[in-house]
Amino acid sequence: MNLNRYNKKKKNINNYLIIFFILLFFILCILFIQNNENNFFKKNIIVFFNYLSENYDYKLKKIEINKLSYINEEKIKKFFDDYRDNSIFLIPIEKILNRIKDENWVKEIKIKSNYKDTLKITIVEFTPRGIYNEKGKSYVFNNQGKVIDYKIQNHPFLDNLIIFNGENALIHSISFLNSIPLFLVNEIKEASFVSNRRWDVELKNGIILKLKENDLQNSFINYEKIYKNMSNQDLQEIKSIDLRVNNRAILKFRINND
């Protein structure tokens, strides 16, 4: 009885090893044909895989992509149009992966095959931090202050991004963004870098803040003190607040709703 059990167990292990080595052979063959050009062995492997795909339906049928915020999913799927209903083993995954990497918004990408009929694509997108205006064009930039793409029109994810204006504004944008206190995170509409030295900020309530050159946080704190001590009606009458001088705030009021 124990001998039978032992033989059965040994047989199962052997079967698993056979399956493992067959799969390993397939993977090595796929890697070989993707990294080598015209040769007799490669051509015969391709013939074998085509036979396998035709007779056992190992063909690309489905492409699964994780949820994306900025990239059009259909645009990514088009990279595989020429390979649909073709052998799942013969798709040049590395080549396609490198092409998709060149697309805007793609930070990282992984492509996995189930070696049957499906490719699973996982894309990590760049995170937009702001919009930079230069010479009539708008650019979306990321956490490192590097341009990702032209501004996407009417995109809800970009509606709350701050618009940056002025020469060298992009260079100083990240330090500016990191200086914004929590209470103002969603209240700033535009930030203009003035004379390559300091910022003028337009709030969503219409007020212009003239910030101190080397102490943005202190300027924001001073504005918060003013904000907390005024009614909404009072704020609507203010056109600008000059916060460039320590412990002072110069308020300019609107005249005739100007």
Predicted confidence at residue 131, as pLDDT, reads: 96
Instruction: Give the tokens for residue 114.
Output: 């189930």
SS percent in the chain: helix, strand, coil, step 5: 40, 25, 35
Amino acid (one-letter) located at 62? K
Predicted confidence at residue 37, as pLDDT, reads: 52
Domain 2-125 matches domain 130-253 at the CATH topology level? no
Domain 130-253: assigned CATH number: 3.40.50.11690
Partner residues linked to 190 by β-bridges: 163, 202
Q: Give me the average pLDDT of each 10-residue run along the chain (258 residues).
A: 50 49 55 52 57 71 95 95 88 93 94 92 96 92 92 80 95 95 94 95 96 90 91 91 90 77
Predicted confidence at residue 145, as pLDDT, reads: 92
Q: pTM score, two decimals?
A: 0.75
Q: Which CATH class is domain 2-125?
A: alpha beta
Residue ranges per domain, the chain? Answer: 2-125, 130-253
54, 86 in Cβ contact below 8 A? no
Distance (Å) of CA 24 to CA 5, 17, 62, 199, 210? 28, 10, 23, 60, 66
Phi, psi (5° rounding) for residue 69? -100, -35
